[in-house]
Chains A and B, each alone.
Chain A
Amino acid sequence: MKRYVIVWLCLLTIVALEVAVTLSHPPAGWLLAGLLMLAFIEAALGLLYFMHLKYERRSFMWSVILAVVIAIVLMDHFWLDAFRLLHQRISAP
């Protein structure tokens, strides 16, 4: 149980870091990058320890992770269109 309490404390610390980073009001791009990096660290801790992927067979762990990563990579194709609209956009009334 001690191991899980340590992971839980790490997760709480990361949440505190996320809030601190947001309160420092960095540019939106930097804030997004920082928050995403911290969220992925949180997710990795949750997957490996709380969801026990660390203790499953490697083949199982990588099958699960790769399936999600491939799905996420395939979703990235429409960002080009979002940024096209960003550069086209007109000011709000």
Chain B
Amino acid sequence: MAELTAVREPSPFGVTSRKLGIWMFIVADAATFAALLFAYGYERVANPDWTRPFSFWPSITNGIVMTVVLLTSSLTIIAAVLAAQAGRKTSALRWLGATMLLGALFAALHLREWIVMIGDGWRPFRNPLGGTPLVGATFFSITGLHLLHVVTGVVVIGVIALGYRRGRFEPGHLETVGLYWHFVDLVWMFVFPLVYLMNMR
């Protein structure tokens, strides 16, 4: 039976393989967002005609509301995990529902902002103010990738909630999806100041 020894090795970090897996994804995804933000920084420094598209009202105000919504959703998913770990299934499901609602609200606010900007003539390859088109390119690519993460998160939380209600998933699954959701929140902590506040007129 010596050949089975490696299979029975305990986790080197004392975490479940599920948690180790999501952390490996988070590290890789953090590098992806960092690369995008670095590229944005490079373009920003290197371009002489960089335009600042955002005024305090309504763009930055909308961004502040989005930030508060996302931060609050991190709190509600923690409440869901704590309730699940305490065996309070109904409460956990309610908190998961609240997290999904807040995530959907964030996505709706973001899409509304995109629609207004597109209405004003902003495109990934066009700047209506006459400066470099890279402003739109970096804005739509960075916020678009983040928005994709938010929408994916809302769907995955829904799938996990459904499975948890049916007894297919356990509190550990909620913790794993919670880690992903906190990561999405953490990325926004850099996107909001660097992409929005640094571009306020």
Contacts and interface: CB of A to CB of B under 8 A. Distances in A.
B48 A79 contact: no
Interface of A: 1, 4-5, 8, 11-12, 15, 18-19, 22-23, 28, 31-32, 35-36, 38-39, 42-43, 46-47, 50-51, 56-57, 59-60, 63-64, 67-68, 71-72, 75-76, 78-79, 81-83, 85-86, 89-93
Contacts, number: 121
B185 to A, nearest CB: 6
Interface stretch (B72-80, B133-141, B151-159, B163-171): B72-80
B13 A57 contact: yes
Nearest to A25: B200
A23 B41 CA distance: 21
A42 B189 contact: yes
Interface in B40-98: 41-42, 45-49, 56, 60, 64, 67-68, 71-72, 74-75, 78-79, 82
Contact of B13 (A5, A36, A56, A86): A56
B172 interface: no
Nearest to B23: A64
A1 B41 contact: no
